[in-house]
Amino acid sequence: MRIKHCISILVAGAALLLAGALPAQTIKIGFMSTYSGPGAAQGDQLDKGVKLYLKLNGDKLPPGVKIELIVRDDTGPNPDNAKRLAQELIVRDKVQFLTGVVWTPNAAAIAPLTAEAKVPFISANAAGVSVPYLSPYFARVSFTLWQSSYPLGQWAAKKFKRVYVAVSDFAPGHEAQEAFIRGFKEGGGEVVGSVRIPLKDPDFVPYIQRVKDSKPDALFAFNPAGRQSTAMMKAYGDLGLDKAGIKYIGPGDITTDEELQGMGDVALGVITAHHYSAAADRPANKAFVAAYKKEYGEKLFPGFMAVGAWDAMDSIFHVIREQKGKIDPDRTMELLKRFTSANSPRGPISIDPDTRDIVQNIYLREVRRTGGQLANVELETIATALKDPWKEFNKKK
Ligand code: PHB
């Protein structure tokens, strides 16, 4: 098990190393994802993003530096398990970085350990707004739900009078709910109902029936990307909400690119706000999607979690290069706070030095059929270089 989940990547500098020209330097990165249980599809995205990055960028490290990726399966939103695994990675394996982590509850359990041990922790997905407050060694390259759902609320207020809000009952769901409602109400919209659906083994039908009965103009929904989003979309179609003219809207998690083909035609016309679409025609994204398909299969599309993992590795490679392979946690955090990239598949990104959270564009997208396949087609950039709105509204004095 351990061997299966542990890979070492030898890079260009290793050749010189073998020739005796350089001292050995192995940097250990603890990578936590979800490889089993109902969340395994999300974990697979993180895994694919990290491994693709390492494969294509292995030669971009200082000479003599080698990466050892130590992979662990947190089995899903399971904070106790995640904490135990992180503890082992820190204490026994002595990792110099932690990354991966699909789930906010897991990231919240891990973060205090990273503060104690001074191990930089770069979230490739876990999006809960408050995680950065739990450790000064935490930085995020993914997103917050406020980033997608607040501007979507503002946009929706111009299109719809009455909206029903249905979200998964955990921190990112609560944040999507609060963010959308704030943006929508500020624009004069009326929320006709708002419900939180259990995260574990949900039966969407009764919730969707209630939505239908209240006859809103639109349903704003958030579920974790992956199988749950597909199941919720199916319930929306099966109960005929699309035919009743109730528009389906939400953060991009509800139409994540790797799930989209499986959602079928019911997804056509769904409007989302998000930072990443596999259909975006930016050159960096086209190159990323082509590389992903070449590596994993022509029929597969990368989703935003694969991109989060890619950018997490990109930020780690950046700080390794800047320190010439000699990693100091405080210097790493200073470098992460100033990290920017013009080459992310999602467009330009940076880290806000005050909050250690990602700054990025948010795009309004519509699911359309292009070239015989469903795609999240970007319609416009609804927010440029957006900081986490929650932190902007709740600035620490
Ligand atoms: C999270 O736990 O932070 C999370 C999980 C799935 C998502 C978004 C956020 O789609």
Angle at 229 between CA 226 and CA 232, to 5 degrees: 150
pLDDT band (50, 70, 90) for residue 281: very high
* pLDDT per position as a tens digit, 80-125: 999 999 999 999 999 999 999 999 999 999 999 999 999 999 999 9
pLDDT above 90 (res 2): no
pLDDT band (50, 70, 90) for residue 396: confident
Query: Can you tell me whether residue 59 is helix, strand or coil?
Result: helix
CB 104 near ligand 1, within 6 Å: yes
Q: How far apart are CA 281 and CA 286, in angstroms?
A: 6
Q: Which among 31, 117, 24 is positioned nearest to 70, based on CA atoms? A: 31
Burial 358-377 (b: 16+ CB within 10 A, else e): bbbbbbbbebbeeeeebbbb
Q: How far apart are CA 273 and CA 376, in angstroms?
A: 10
Q: Which among 381, 62, 38, 97 is positioned nearest to 228, based on CA atoms? A: 38
Token digits of residue 111: 């973060």
pLDDT band (50, 70, 90) for residue 23: low
CB 128 near ligand 1, within 6 Å: yes
* pLDDT per position as a tens digit, 146-157: 999 999 999 999
Once rounded to an integer, what is the mean pLDDT over residues 239-268? 97
* pLDDT per position as a tens digit, 303-322: 999 999 999 999 999 999 99
For the chain, what is the radius of gyration of the CA atoms?
A: 21
pLDDT above 60 (res 4): no
Looking only at the bridges linking them, the beta strands covering 218-222 and 247-251 are parallel
Once rounded to an integer, what is the mean pLDDT over residues 337-346? 98
Distance 34 CA to ligand 1 centre (A): 12
Within 10 A of 288 (CB to CB), how many other CB atoms are there?
26
| Helices marked H in the chain | 13-18, 40-57, 79-91, 104-117, 145-157, 171-186, 205-213, 227-238, 257-263, 283-296, 304-322, 329-337, 389-393
pLDDT band (50, 70, 90) for residue 271: very high
The pLDDT value given to residue 336: 98
Ligand 1 atom index nearest CA of 125:
3
pLDDT band (50, 70, 90) for residue 1: very low
Distance 26 CA to ligand 1 centre (A): 31
CB 127 near ligand 1, within 6 Å: yes
pLDDT above 70 (res 11): no
The pLDDT value given to residue 17: 46
pLDDT above 90 (res 362): yes
pLDDT band (50, 70, 90) for residue 22: low
Provide the mean pLDDT of the chain.
Answer: 94
* pLDDT per position as a tens digit, 210-246: 999 999 999 999 999 999 999 999 999 999 999 999 9
Distance 19 CA to ligand 1 centre (A): 46
Report the nearest-CA residue for atom 7 of ligand 1.
224
Distance 326 CA to ligand 1 centre (A): 33
Distance 202 CA to ligand 1 centre (A): 16
pLDDT above 90 (res 273): yes
* pLDDT per position as a tens digit, 136-187: 999 999 999 999 999 999 999 999 999 999 999 999 999 999 999 999 999 9
The pLDDT value given to residue 344: 98
Once rounded to an integer, what is the mean pLDDT over residues 241-258? 98
pLDDT above 80 (res 397): no
CB 225 near ligand 1, within 6 Å: yes
* pLDDT per position as a tens digit, 59-73: 999 999 999 999 999
Report the nearest-CA residue for atom 6 of ligand 1.
224
Q: How far apart are CA 335 and CA 28, in angstroms?
A: 18
pLDDT band (50, 70, 90) for residue 16: very low
